[in-house]
Amino acid sequence: GIQVEQSPPDLILQEGANSTLRCNFSDSVNNLQWFHQNPWGQLINLFYIPSGTKQNGRLSATTVATERYSLLYISSSQTTDSGVYFCAVEFANDMRFGAGTRLTVKP
């Protein structure tokens, strides 16, 4: 089946710093989403981005489908950005998740 790899697995930042999270996938996909899982376990949908670039405030994402990767950019990070960021790709009939990047933003 399709492989979804996220890097780095862990990231510690000082408040105000910028970061880039990467998602690589091993096959063509119909759909790609980025989620933030907050400390209470809720999955917050950040971007639906099968291709191209989108921006929402301090967050932006780019997917290059032909090269099978997606990037999530976080600028001017805040402590509330802490949590786990998941990339998920739709392959066949379901979404396959990466193992996530655990982000800790220190004040």
Rounded to a whole number of angstroms, the minimum distance from the CB of residue 80 to another protein is: 18
Rounded to a whole number of angstroms, the minimum distance from the CB of residue 14 to another protein is: 24
Rounded to a whole number of angstroms, the minimum distance from the CB of residue 12 to another protein is: 17
Task: Give dist(CA 63, CA 51) in Å, integer.
Answer: 5
Residue number with CB closer to another protein (17 or 50):
50
Residue number with CB closer to another protein (66 or 93):
93
Q: Please say whether the beta carbons of 9 and 99 come within 8 A.
A: yes
Instruction: List strands edge to edge, sheet with 59-64.
Output: 4-7, 19-25, 69-74, 59-64, 52-56
